[in-house]
């Protein structure tokens, strides 16, 4: 049976879900990528949280941050395991949620190595690569 994709506002998250999503983000973005950065940036309370649970916590996660004028930013896209489709499932669910919220445009700041992943979901590159926390990123956009 395929795990359900859940979408919750910050105040709907259980304490265990909050713990698990912060743990997954930390494991991948801080430890695996060896990058000290400010993960708890104050945006979580105003964001939607899209995730897939598995028996051991979170299988995949993405965060939707509302910006101005119908633009939404999807960030913190992460999967505990690679190659099993969880990342794409959670990304597509985040895109659907942005569309349901009335998004005119969705943007993402992708790590350069992952551009192909986001292109498969319909995003296109905008601009030039830039460094964020010492890792090359590039802005990508999607009009739903």
Pick the CATH number of 5-103 from 3.50.50.60, 3.40.630.30, 3.40.50.300, 3.40.50.1970: 3.40.630.30
**Model confidence over 102-135: pLDDT tens digits?**
999 999 999 999 999 999 999 999 999 999 888 8
CA distance 72 to 108: 9
pLDDT on residue 1? 58
Q: What is the band of 12 on the pLDDT scale with cuts at 50, 70, 90?
A: very high
CB atoms within 10 A of CB 74: 29
**Model confidence over 44-98: pLDDT tens digits?**
999 999 999 988 789 999 999 999 999 999 999 999 988 889 999 999 999 999 9
Contact 30, 36 (CB under 8 A): yes
Count Cα neighbours of 129 within 13 Å in the Cβ-side half-sphere.
11
pLDDT on residue 7? 98
Give the domain ranges of the chain: 5-103
Residue with tokens 């192909």: 116
CA distance 102 to 135: 31
Average pLDDT over residues 16-34: 85
Contact 25, 40 (CB under 8 A): no
CA distance 125 to 138: 7
Give residues with Cβ within 8 angstroms of 37, minimum separation 6: 29, 30, 133
Q: Is the pLDDT of residue 39 over 90?
A: no
CA distance 73 to 95: 10
């Amino acid at each position: 049976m395929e795990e359900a994709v859940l979408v919750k506002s910050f105040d709907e998250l259980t304490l265990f879900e909050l713990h698990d999503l912060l743990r997954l983000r930390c494991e991948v973005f801080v430890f695996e990528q060896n990058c000290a950065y400010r993960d708890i940036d104050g945006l979580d309370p105003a964001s939607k949280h899209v995730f897939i649970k598995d028996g051991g916590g979170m299988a995949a996660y993405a965060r939707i941050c509302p910006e101005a004028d119908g633009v939404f930013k999807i960030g913190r896209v992460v999967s505990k395991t690679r190659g099993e489709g969880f990342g794409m499932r959670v990304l597509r669910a985040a895109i659907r949620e942005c569309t349901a919220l009335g998004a005119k445009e969705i943007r993402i700041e992708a790590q350069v190595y992952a551009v192909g992943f986001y292109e498969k979901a319909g995003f296109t590159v905008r601009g030039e690569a830039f460094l964020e926390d010492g890792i090359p990123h590039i802005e990508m956009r999607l009009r739903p």
